[in-house]
Structure 1
Amino acid sequence: MQKVLTGNQVKSLDEKYVSGEGISSYQLMERAAHTFCDWFISRFSEKITVSVFCGTGNNGGDGLAIARILHLKGYEVKVGLIGNPESGSVDFRQNLNVMPEFVIVEPWGQVVEGGVIIDAVFGVGINRPLEGEYLELIQRLNEAASAKISVDVPSGLPSDSPADGEAFRADYTISFQFPKIALLIPENAIYTGNLIVKSIGIDQKYFDSFESMRFFYSGEKLDEYHKQFHAFSHKGDFGRVLLAGGSYGKMGSIGLATRAALRTGSGLVFCHVPACGVEIIQAGIPEAMVMPAGEEKEVAAQLDSSGIDALGMGPGLGKGENASRLVHQVLSEYQGPTVIDADAINILGEHPDWLNFLHPKVILTPHIKEFERITGIACKNHFERMDLARDFSKKYGCVLVLKGAFTLISFPDGKQVFNNSGSVYMATGGSGDVLTGMLTSFLGQGYSIERAAICGVFHHGHAGELAGESMKRGTIASDIIAKIPESFRHFGID
């Protein structure tokens, strides 16, 4: 799991690394440039024209090194400079001195954009809005019809705060070693484009001295987060879970959560649904058992007497009197592992005093609007939302999964994990219900609350990626469920 640092910490990290490894900052820059070019060549194999626009700092030095390497690989490369090169950083000037004579290097105003534009004007150090000729350059590049790529961070975008004014609007941003926080923010998606994070070989030990409670997870050592089962494991070992939800016209939601729990590996899955949904669930999901609402003992007592290991509550539940009674009863009486989603979250938003029933075995899974309902706060931007999510999790002692691109998992100790799996094609009805079923399944199998959250969110996103590869915009929630076993196989999970 990769620690995420602030822009101010990046320079210190580079200094610690080059000192500890006995290399120069120029050599580290060369490594970053080669890493960028390896990705570029894999994406743009045809020898197209490339225009690289460089400032005079180290980000511009990256750009010059990239221009040189692409030229040597057979691409037609032009470089546009902005700023005074004589006052540039040491590594910028060294890269300028070794530029092959056949690469055109001119002031930016004389360079016509090519088939691909590479933005290497500003890096993580910018802390004020673009102005003057820098603003003019970025506005001109944004109007160009060319494919656009930023090196590390789009120029004009602060690394740790919301955009203030214009910034380069990239189709791809190639960030080195870890993503800067600004690249994970929904409001900045128009500038970041598709985020690609590439390692440049900085060992994790160099991150240890930097304080950060935010991490970026891309599935590293995922098998170590999973429980291991043996030849004599039986269905009881794989957990007994109950999914509570469904209402007239909304039985599909609880059905999706149930199927997802089964595909995630639950040994036994029970459904607590209204009478109108009993036949729907039993006919559509024969592997599930149904507990009809209104025909059983009190839910909390039933959970205990049935030996339920985990509960998932909310998909398709509705917000009527019976639904509110169920949510109150479960939260006030049941202390077992619980996932709260969808309508159960909306009910919490209408009864904020019930938040005090939350406990360390609860995972809440709101999307942004649902999150605002339970906090009563409409945040100005995602930076505020991240801090609010952290504070909420710490205050109520629960895990909060704020859904979206780079889903953010907040833990009671203040730790936050950005998830790096998923696809735009997952923006479809029922996707969140699938996550509820997966999280509940992992909890029921005996995973710790942290491991269940990390495994559930990551595999949910990865299964969505796999489904999107073939289905594209036609991806539906059932396609995600179908890919859960493949996601396990991909990471060697038995």
Structure 2
Amino acid sequence: MLEIISGASVKKLDADFIHEKGISSHRLMEYAATAFCDFFESNFHRSDKVGIFCGHGNNGGDGLAIARLLWRKGYDVMVFYIGDFSKASPDCRLNRELLPEKLPSITVCDERIKLIDYDFHVLIDAVLGIGVNRPLEGLYLDVVGKLNRINDVTRIAVDIPSGLPADGCLEGDAFKADITVSFQFPKYSLMFPEHAEYVGKLKVVNIGIDQPFFGQFSEKKYFLQYKDIKNRHKSFNRFAHKGDFGKVLLVGGSYGKIGAIRMSSEAAMRTGSGLVTCFSPKCGVAVLQSSLPELMVIASESEAYLSDSQEVAFDNYDAIGLGPGMGQEALTADLVEVILNRYSGPMVIDADGINIIAKNENLLKLLRENIILTPHLKEFERLVGACKNHQVRLKKASEFAQKYNCVLVLKGAHTAINLPNGKQYFNSTGNQYMATGGVGDVLTGIITSFLGQGYGAEDAALCGVYQHGIAGELASAKKLRGTIASDVVKAIPKSFVKLRIK
């Protein structure tokens, strides 16, 4: 599990590691540069022309080490010095001395910014690192602005885009990376959606710092990776029967929105539930039965929306998914309260289920540790009020999960899974092509299925969010922005194959 620690703690973390291993700070910088170059070699050709922009701090030192290593590997590299190198950090100064004499370089000042207009294929930003604590100004602002305006290049940030604070929200401008290669762990601000255009695609590379060194700096924030997920999945033997895979109930749908609960239901099936039942309005029965013959359907007493039905034995189910497309009619809101009061098993609450709770604060007291809420950003703000930025939103999400002793999955890029114990996990899978209607309903079905299969709330949320992202990646590989939610449902089986989960 990769811990996310504050930028202020990184210097102390590096110092502890250096002391324990008996190495120099320059050696650790060399590890980082080597890891960056390994990534670079696997993604870029030696024919690519590379411009590397280096400041006079340790981030610039990383850039200079990268320049030296790439040049030795045969890349066409040019270095641009930004800032006052008479004040360079010791390791930056050393890496400048180690540059081969034949490696071309220039010092950029105000009147030489136009010299950046070389025919580069790749621009590497190593100007400013995690120590930034104020908006860019002067030459730094001019250089970053110039780099952001250059067309037909790939922009890569070393550790963090210059100008972006490690732990807070951006003020002013910053380097707009297509790829950010972060060392050892992602910096907290790289998780914020406001920073998406600056971070680009996030890649975390291992520079050899062992996990125990993070312990004293733990802030209970983690970045999910495959190795963290596989062991959380349950395994089943050949003698398992459909009862072992769980009976789940999906509750939702209303006139014109039956598709939402249909996708949740199919997602639960594709995730492996033994038996899936849908409780929907009468208007949805024909659609659901004809499109999903494996699905069992219970009709609500109402034709257009959900209302309580005495025929539903909620306790017969191993898990319930509540909310997709259900609407917010008064009788539907009454049904939500009935289920929360009558059913004590694990549950996922999404979409209109969350909106109903937001309008009826008395329902909040019915939340508990085996309930998972899966709001998108707007639904979450209906629960807690407006948030001026994602930093505030993440803080409130963690506080909500702790206050109401539930799991809160705040959906979006790097979906944040908030646990009652204060831990906050950020997802590493998924992409922008999943930003389409119905994909959240698919997640509801996936997580509900895992709960029904006997996963605890924490494992169901983590495995569900991670695998949902993998399914989205697989579904969009050839369709890109043409991807729709049904494509993600169809990719769920492939996600089990890719993750080697039997």
Q: TM-score, normalised by structure 1?
A: 0.96
Q: Is the counterpart of residue 338 in structure 1 residue 347 in structure 2?
A: yes
Deviation at 1:46, TM superposition (A): 4.6
Pick from 307, 312, 320: which aligns with 1:302? Answer: 312
The 2-side partners of 1:297 and 1:403 are apart by 28
The 1-side partners of 2:294 and 2:356 are apart by 30
The 2-side partners of 1:455 and 1:106 are apart by 49
Pick from 392, 395, 413: which aligns with 1:387? Answer: 395
Pick from 419, 424, 429: which aligns with 2:432? Answer: 424
Please state whether the residue corresponding to 1:169 is helix, strand or coil: coil
Counterpart position of 2:199: 192
Q: Which amino acid aligns with 2:335?
A: L
Counterpart position of 1:274: 281
Counterpart position of 2:329: 320
The 2-side partners of 1:204 and 1:299 are apart by 52
The 2-side partners of 1:19 and 1:304 are apart by 59
Deviation at 1:222, TM superposition (A): 2.2
Please state whether the residue corresponding to 1:156 is helix, strand or coil: coil
Pick from 113, 116, 123: which aligns with 1:112? Answer: 116
Unaligned 5+ segments in structure 2 are none
The 2-side partners of 1:116 and 1:474 are apart by 28
Pick from 135, 139, 143: which aligns with 2:145? Answer: 139
CA displacement, residues 13-40 of structure 1 (integer Å, 9 cap, x when unaligned)? 1111122122211111111112112222
Pick from 343, 352, 359: which aligns with 1:350? Answer: 359
Please state whether the residue corresponding to 1:302 is helix, strand or coil: coil
Please state whether the residue corresponding to 2:465 is helix, strand or coil: helix
Q: Is the counterpart of residue 288 in structure 1 residue 295 in structure 2?
A: yes
More displaced stretch, 385-394 vs 480-489: 480-489
Superposition pairs for residues 11-50 of structure 1, below 5 Å? 11-50=11-50
Deviation at 1:405, TM superposition (A): 0.3
Q: Is the counterpart of residue 453 in structure 1 residue 461 in structure 2?
A: yes
Q: Do the aligned partners of 2:350 and 2:373 also contact (CA within 8 Å) in 1?
A: yes
The 2-side partners of 1:52 and 1:263 are apart by 47
Q: Do the aligned partners of 1:9 and 1:210 also contact (CA within 8 Å) in 2?
A: yes
The 1-side partners of 2:471 and 2:308 are apart by 36
CA displacement, residues 271-316 of structure 1 (integer Å, 9 cap, x when unaligned)? 10111111111111111111111299955883345x2010001111
Please state whether the residue corresponding to 2:42 is helix, strand or coil: helix
Please state whether the residue corresponding to 2:53 is helix, strand or coil: strand
> Alignment length, in residue pairs?
492
More displaced stretch, 415-424 vs 65-74: 65-74
Please state whether the residue corresponding to 2:269 is helix, strand or coil: helix
Q: Which amino acid aligns with 1:218?
A: Q
Q: Is the counterpart of residue 218 in structure 1 residue 225 in structure 2?
A: yes
Q: Do the aligned partners of 1:300 and 1:334 also contact (CA within 8 Å) in 2?
A: no
Please state whether the residue corresponding to 2:276 is helix, strand or coil: strand
Unaligned 5+ segments in structure 1 are none
The 2-side partners of 1:300 and 1:120 are apart by 65
Q: Is the counterpart of residue 241 in structure 1 residue 251 in structure 2?
A: no
CA displacement, residues 336-384 of structure 1 (integer Å, 9 cap, x when unaligned)? 1111011111111221222111111110000000101111x11110000
Pick from 123, 132, 151: which aligns with 1:126? Answer: 132
Deviation at 1:115, TM superposition (A): 2.7
Counterpart position of 1:374: 383
The 2-side partners of 1:297 and 1:54 are apart by 64
Counterpart position of 2:159: 152
Deviation at 1:221, TM superposition (A): 4.0
The 2-side partners of 1:188 and 1:144 are apart by 20
More displaced stretch, 389-398 vs 69-78: 69-78
Q: Do the aligned partners of 2:250 and 2:265 also contact (CA within 8 Å) in 1?
A: yes
Pick from 473, 478, 481: which aligns with 1:473? Answer: 481
Superposition pairs for residues 40-119 of structure 1, below 5 Å? 40-109=40-109, 110=112, 111-113=115-117, 114-119=120-125
Counterpart position of 2:447: 439
The 1-side partners of 2:70 and 2:278 are apart by 58
Deviation at 1:48, TM superposition (A): 2.2
The 2-side partners of 1:20 and 1:301 are apart by 65
Counterpart position of 2:185: 178
Please state whether the residue corresponding to 2:460 is helix, strand or coil: helix
Please state whether the residue corresponding to 2:477 is helix, strand or coil: helix
The 2-side partners of 1:211 and 1:430 are apart by 36
Counterpart position of 2:6: 6
Q: Do the aligned partners of 2:308 and 2:335 also contact (CA within 8 Å) in 1?
A: no
The 2-side partners of 1:373 and 1:83 are apart by 46
CA displacement, residues 63-85 of structure 1 (integer Å, 9 cap, x when unaligned)? 00111111112222111112222
Deviation at 1:87, TM superposition (A): 2.2
The 2-side partners of 1:211 and 1:257 are apart by 36
Q: TM-score, normalised by structure 2?
A: 0.95
RMSD: 1.6
Please state whether the residue corresponding to 2:369 is helix, strand or coil: coil
Q: Do the aligned partners of 1:255 and 1:281 also contact (CA within 8 Å) in 2?
A: yes
CA displacement, residues 417-467 of structure 1 (integer Å, 9 cap, x when unaligned)? 001010111111110010000010000111011000001000000110111
Q: Is the counterpart of residue 165 in structure 1 residue 165 in structure 2?
A: no
Deviation at 1:198, TM superposition (A): 1.1
Q: Which amino acid aligns with 1:471?
A: K
Q: Do the aligned partners of 2:301 and 2:309 also contact (CA within 8 Å) in 1?
A: no
Q: Do the aligned partners of 1:300 and 1:330 also contact (CA within 8 Å) in 2?
A: no
Give % identity: 51
Counterpart position of 2:408: 400
In structure 2, the CA distance between the partners of 1:451 and 1:12, relative to structure 1 (3 Å rule), is same
Q: Which amino acid aligns with 1:303?
A: A
Deviation at 1:249, TM superposition (A): 1.2
The 2-side partners of 1:299 and 1:489 are apart by 39
